Copies of this chain bind each other. A is one copy, B any other.
Amino acid sequence: MPDFSIGVDLGGTNLRIAAVSAEGQLLEKVTLGTKVILGRDQVINEMCDAIQRLSAKYKATGRLLGAGIGIPGIIDMQTGMLRKSANLPGWEEYPVRAEIERRLGAPVVLENDANVAALGEQWLGAARGVPNVAAVTLGTGIGGGIVLAGKIWHGMNGMAGEFGHVTVEPEGRPCGCGNHGCAEQYASATAIMRMAREAIASGEAPSLAQAASSDPEFGARSIYNLAIQGDEHARRIFRSFGRYLGILLAGLINVLNLDMFVIGGGVSSAWDAFAPNMFEELRERSLVYAATAPTDPLSSDARGKEGAAAQTESRTERKTIITRALLGSDAGLYGAARVAVSAG
């Protein structure tokens, strides 16, 4: 019955396609094990087949409003081509959108994966009903998306939201982007593993060394598990993580003064391990946050300074909310479906 759109999440591991009603109801979700490694043409074939199958099924009862595809990479919104994508070799310099549109016989929107994740959370997730929001996706790297007045903010040519490459430590670690001290060198799964390796190599973190040698799947999650069990070396890693994430967010808050910042991605599940240090940095480093922070449930120390600030600012109703994403990996799927509708 309902009008619907198709959302596609073209991730590094799975290809997922969903039919979503215009009201945000999931009608059907298909997860294909298609590995990106099989190559561009195979992926596009399977994607188009699935889109057509879902469309045909739900067209019986409603109108197809469009299709949106979330892609990891920088997209040229005008040409519908990938400008840059580390995870999709062979997709650059290829008319991705035109080819998919040709096969489907329908208009398609290509969109950066972090942007659709932000839009998904804004449409149906943690930021539902919040007009201005940024999403920070903590995974292998850091992704970012900005939604202003309910629409993705692309910037001049689709490159806005590169939060992972904001400098947080001027003389810091080199990054693949050519900079050094980028946020994603300090607050990502990769950064957690790097810090663990360094701690192990220093010989001063025997608990991490033991876990690394006994756990065949030793990774960021293992280090988180050690941290919540009180392991000091693991906790130190997440304190540093929280500190640098806080520095990044403090800058974003000072610049953008948005209503909400949504923290998602796989590493956001380690929230309790990094959030206290993140909030500590925010209070210190963002005068905007200090003036607009809600009473912080994480903060047990009711400091005089904060009390006074809260009083002075009591006439300001609006608060800066930093919160966890709600939709997990579905955020991008919903956002892709949404972007097809708003563009259509």
- Per the 8 Å Cβ criterion, residues 112-167 of A in contact with B are 132, 144, 146, 148, 153-163, 165-167
Pick from B177, B251, B315, B320: contact of A166, CB below 8 A. Answer: B251
Cβ of A255: which chain B residues have Cβ within 8 Å of it? 144, 146, 160-163, 166, 251-252, 255-256
Give A153 to B160 CA distance when docked, in angstroms: 16
B315 and A79 within 8 A (CB) = yes
B163 and A254 within 8 A (CB) = yes
How distant is A190 from chain B, measured CB to nearest CB, in Å?
17
Tally of this chain's copies: 2
Which secondary structure dominates where chain A touches chain B? loop
- Per the 8 Å Cβ criterion, residues 143-201 of A in contact with B are 144, 146, 148, 153-163, 165-170, 177-179
B259 and A156 within 8 A (CB) = yes
B257 and A154 within 8 A (CB) = yes
Q: Does A99 contact B (CB under 8 A)?
A: no
Pick from B83, B146, B156, B251: contact of A318, CB below 8 A. Answer: B156
B251 and A179 within 8 A (CB) = no
A320 and B256 within 8 A (CB) = no
B179 and A284 within 8 A (CB) = yes
Pick from B76, B155, B284, B316: contact of A132, CB below 8 A. Answer: B155
How distant is A180 from chain B, measured CB to nearest CB, in Å?
8
Give A155 to B288 CA distance when docked, in angstroms: 11
Question: Chain A, interface size: which category?
Answer: 35 or more
Pick from B159, B167, B256, B286: contact of A155, CB below 8 A. Answer: B256
Q: Does A5 contact B (CB under 8 A)?
A: no
Give A287 to B74 CA distance when docked, in angstroms: 11
Beyond A148-B153, A155-B257, A157-B316, 15 additional pairs, beta carbon < 8 A: A83-B316, A155-B258, A156-B292, A157-B318, A158-B257, A161-B257, A162-B255, A165-B285, A166-B250, A166-B255, A167-B251, A167-B285, A170-B247, A178-B290, A179-B286
Q: Does A291 contact B (CB under 8 A)?
A: yes
A165 and B286 within 8 A (CB) = yes
Cβ of A284: which chain B residues have Cβ within 8 Å of it? 178-179
How distant is A63 from chain B, measured CB to nearest CB, in Å?
30
Give A132 to B154 CA distance when docked, in angstroms: 11
Cβ of A169: which chain B residues have Cβ within 8 Å of it? 170
Give A162 to B285 CA distance when docked, in angstroms: 12
